[in-house]
Structure 1
Amino acid sequence: MKSKFVAWPNWLGRRAVAAIVLAGVSIGAAEAQTTSADPLNLSGALSLALENNPITGAARAEIRAAEADALQAGLWDNPTLGAEIEEFGSDRGGLGDADTTLSINQTIPLGGDRGRAREAANAWASAASAELALQRNRLLASTAQAYVAAQAASETLSLRMELLEIANNSADAIRSRVEAGRASPIERNRADMLVGLATIAANDAASAQSAANNQLVAIWSGGPVNGELAPPLQAFDLTAYSDAQPVNWISDNPELLQLRAITRARSQEIRRERAAAIPDLTVGAGVRRFGGTDETAFVATLEVPIPVLNRNQGGVAAAASRENAARLNEEVMRRSLIAQYASSAGRFARAQSTYTQLNENILPASENALGAAQGAYREGALDILNFLDIQRSYFDVRVDLITARAELARAAIELDVLAGAPQLNRLVETNSEEAVQ
Structure 2
Amino acid sequence: MLRKFAPHAMGFALLFGHAAWVQAAVAPRNSDALASALIEAIQPLTLRAAQEQALQGNPELIAARREVEAAEGARIQAGALPNPVLDIQLEDERRATRTRTTSFSQTLELGGKRGARIEAAERAVEMARSRFEAKTADVRAGATVAFFAALVAQDRVNLAQASLEVARRGSEAASKRVFAGKISPIEETKAKVAEAGVRVELVQARGELQSSRQQLLAVMGATHLPAELDGDALNLPQVVAPDAIPGLINDAPALREAQLNVHRLTALVDLESAKRIPDVTLMVGVKRAEELGRDQTVVGISLPLPLFDTNRGALLEALRQRDMAEEELRATELRLRAEASIAVGRYATSVAEVATLKDEVIPGARIAFDAAAKGFELGKFGYLDVLDAQRTLQQARAQYLRALAEVHRAAADLDRLLGSSGSTRSNTLPEIRQ
Alignment TM class, shorter chain as reference:
0.7 to 0.9
Q: State the one-letter code of the partner of 1:355.
A: V
Aligned partners of 1:351 and 1:404 also within 8 Å: yes
Q: State the one-letter code of the partner of 1:420.
A: G
Aligned pairs (5 A) from 1:8-407: 37-86=42-91, 88=92, 94-219=94-219, 220-232=221-233, 234=235, 236-238=237-239, 240=240, 242-244=241-243, 246-377=245-376, 379-407=378-406
Aligned partners of 1:236 and 1:423 also within 8 Å: no
Closer/same/farther in 2, CA of residues 386 and 360 from structure 1, 3 Å limit: same
| 2:18 match | none
Q: Name the CA distance, whole Å, in 1 between partners of 2:341 and 2:238.
A: 19
1:237 offset after TM fit, Å?
2.2
Closer/same/farther in 2, CA of residues 418 and 232 from structure 1, 3 Å limit: farther
Aligned partners of 1:42 and 1:232 also within 8 Å: no
Q: Name the CA distance, whole Å, in 2 between partners of 1:65 and 1:214.
A: 32
Report SS of the residue matched to 2:306. coil
Higher deviation after alignment, 192-201 or 368-377? 368-377
Aligned partners of 2:45 and 2:225 also within 8 Å: no
Q: State the one-letter code of the partner of 1:75.
A: A
Q: Name the CA distance, whole Å, in 2 between partners of 1:322 and 1:382.
A: 75
1:378 offset after TM fit, Å?
5.0
1:236 offset after TM fit, Å?
2.2
Closer/same/farther in 2, CA of residues 243 and 113 from structure 1, 3 Å limit: closer
Aligned length: 386
Closer/same/farther in 2, CA of residues 111 and 96 from structure 1, 3 Å limit: farther
1:230 offset after TM fit, Å?
1.1
Aligned partners of 1:285 and 1:298 also within 8 Å: yes
Report SS of the residue matched to 1:421. helix
Deviation per residue, 1:334-369 (Å, 9 max, x gap): 122222223223222221221111112222222332
Q: Name the CA distance, whole Å, in 1 between partners of 2:236 and 2:186.
A: 49
- Identity within the alignment, %: 28
Higher deviation after alignment, 50-59 or 136-145? 136-145
Higher deviation after alignment, 339-348 or 126-135? 339-348
Deviation per residue, 1:137-168 (Å, 9 max, x gap): 22122221111211111101111111112212
Report SS of the residue matched to 1:285. strand
Q: Name the CA distance, whole Å, in 1 between partners of 2:393 and 2:199.
A: 17
Higher deviation after alignment, 332-341 or 205-214? 332-341
Deviation per residue, 1:73-131 (Å, 9 max, x gap): 22122111112233x36xxxx23312222111111112231222122111111111111
Report SS of the residue matched to 1:107. strand
**Structure 1 length normalisation: TM-score?**
0.82
Closer/same/farther in 2, CA of residues 65 and 136 from structure 1, 3 Å limit: same
Aligned partners of 1:41 and 1:232 also within 8 Å: no
Deviation per residue, 1:272-318 (Å, 9 max, x gap): 11222221111111111222220112221112223333332222222
| 1:25 match | none
Aligned partners of 1:110 and 1:281 also within 8 Å: yes
Q: Name the CA distance, whole Å, in 2 between partners of 1:142 and 1:69.
A: 31
Closer/same/farther in 2, CA of residues 344 and 235 from structure 1, 3 Å limit: closer
Q: State the one-letter code of the partner of 2:261.
A: I
Aligned partners of 2:41 and 2:226 also within 8 Å: no
- Regions of 4+ moved over 4 Å: none
Q: Name the CA distance, whole Å, in 1 between partners of 2:200 and 2:234.
A: 28
Report SS of the residue matched to 1:44. helix
Aligned partners of 1:153 and 1:212 also within 8 Å: yes
1:375 offset after TM fit, Å?
4.7
Aligned partners of 2:143 and 2:216 also within 8 Å: yes
Q: Name the CA distance, whole Å, in 2 between partners of 1:164 and 1:233.
A: 22
Q: Name the CA distance, whole Å, in 2 between partners of 1:307 and 1:58.
A: 42
Structure 2: unaligned runs, 5 residues or longer: 1-39, 426-434
Higher RCO, Cα 8 Å, sep 6+: 1
* Residues 1:409 and 2:414 aligned together: no
Report SS of the residue matched to 1:96. coil
Q: State the one-letter code of the partner of 1:156.
A: R
